Amino acid sequence: MTAPQIVWLRRDLRLVDQPALFAAAESGPVIPVYVLDDERPGEHRMGGAQRWWLHHSLASLDRSLRERGSRLVLRRGDAVQELCRLAEETGAKGIHALHHYEPWWRKAESELAGRFELHLHDGNYLVPPGTVRTGAGELYRIYTPFAKALRRELPSLEPLPEPQLTAPAKWPRSDRLEDWRLLPTTPDWAGGFVEAWTPGENAAKAQLEQFADHADRYADERNLPSIEGSSRLSPRLHWGELSVGQVWHALADRSGAGVDTFRGELIWRDFTQNVILAFPDYQTRNYGEAFDRFPWRYDKGEIRAWRQGRTGYPIVDAGMRQLWQSGWLHNRVRMIVASFLIKHLLVDWRVGERWFWDTLVDADCGNNAVNWQWVSGTGVDTQLFTRIMAPLTQSVKFDAGDYIRRWVPELADVPDRLIHDPPAGTYIPKIIGHREGRERALAAYRQLRTG
């Protein structure tokens, strides 16, 4: 019998438009494998919310594979060692995988290629990161010219069909998913996740179809947290339950400002991968080195209040409670809560980045770091630090009343004219006034500029 091919899965948990799986299936029997490697990412090992999603997505993928006469093999440990060990056990002649661009996975791919026949395929992004370059051959550091160049070079993105899988003569040993203990035990903080999400490829396809039907309204509705105007596809793309090519293709026959705006956000996702490709330590270091001298504050009580959604600003608190209870946060509100932490509380952006990393089901290395550095004014393509969002103004502008009532139920009966800034005695007091926070932030920035 033909020697089997191993397919190394990471954030590409799907059967359709999966180039590594498709290529392996054309070469012989396929052994799909996921290795839980908690050591390589170092301090950026998967957070609790990601682990919850991973458990359910792996279970869903295994069910789909078994329906097709295959199965998912699970191993835990160093990814390179486990894959080489599995290849020796099974007599596999090749390992197929999709390129991943987190610095720890790039290192693992390099090590594995030096020890075994590794076939790397593109398929997680619109174009392979690193291929869209300036006329001087450099990686873009500004989004707008990058987006224009990418659109010129964009391939057809016709999704690959689901492959026909052949099982190996003998299946290797596999861990039990339950033994990995990816799910919370006591207390079970993920109850709201179950209400908000159904991980897996089938649910992802259904969500894409639902979004495509109203994508033309996206530009108008995406900033309004009180309505379901977001695509909610970010965890699907992060975990690879959908390919970005599938999403782009689903909108191919649609046009208008909403669709074009959403396509721009898919391109931003590519842009952030190019940033971490160029700067592998972007999650932990200021791109603007001058901010290494910034007079950050670390008030533990204020940081705790921000995390728990008890700052006294209803829009901020609603966002942080939505994040904790559902593992996701509305895009406009992400910017508001990030700006509040950095500008009003003068807390280093890395504190927020780590909290999002632990609590978001869609916590992506590139998106998370680039977006936090964008808000903080420390990044490659960034807003100025002096742009300080006013939470109360933002709440009114984007009509967040019903959003606040849902996530801050103690304000459920407050009328529209008071909901954004409840009077004293109606809600917990603000931990800092907006004007006071703004002036303190500007003073700190002036201190940085004057040395």
153 is catalytic: no
The pair of structure tokens assigned to 150 is 């990418």
Give the per-residue SS3 of the chain.
Answer: CCCCEEEEECCCCCCCCCHHHHHHHHHCCEEEEEEECCCCCHHHCCCHHHHHHHHHHHHHHHHHHHHCCCCCEEEECCHHHHHHHHHHHHCCCEEEEECCCCHHHHHHHHHHHCCCCEEEECCCCCCCCCCCECCCCCECCCHHHHHHHHHHHCCCCCCCCCCCCCCCCCCCCCCCHHHHCCCCCCCCCCHHHHHHCCCCHHHHHHHHHHHHHCHHHHHHHCCCCCCCCCCCCHHHHHCCCCCHHHHHHHCCCCCCHHHHHHHHHHHHHHHHHHHHHHCCCCCCCCCCHHHHHCCCCCCHHHHHHHHHCCCCCHHHHHHHHHHHHHCCCCHHHHHHHHHHHHHHCCCCHHHHHHHHHHHCCCCCHHHHHHHHHHHHCCCCCCCCCCCCCCHHHHHHHCCCHHHHHHHCHHHCCCCHHHHCCCCECCECCCCCCHHHHHHHHHHHHHHHHHC
296 is catalytic: yes
372 is catalytic: yes
From 324, 372, 374, 407, the catalytic residue: 372
349 is catalytic: yes
From 239, 268, 324, 328, the catalytic residue: 268
171 is catalytic: no
Place of tokens 């593992």: 327
Nearest to 62 by CA among 70, 76, 52, 72: 72
From 53, 105, 349, 357, the catalytic residue: 349
Residues involved in catalysis: 265, 268, 296, 331, 349, 372
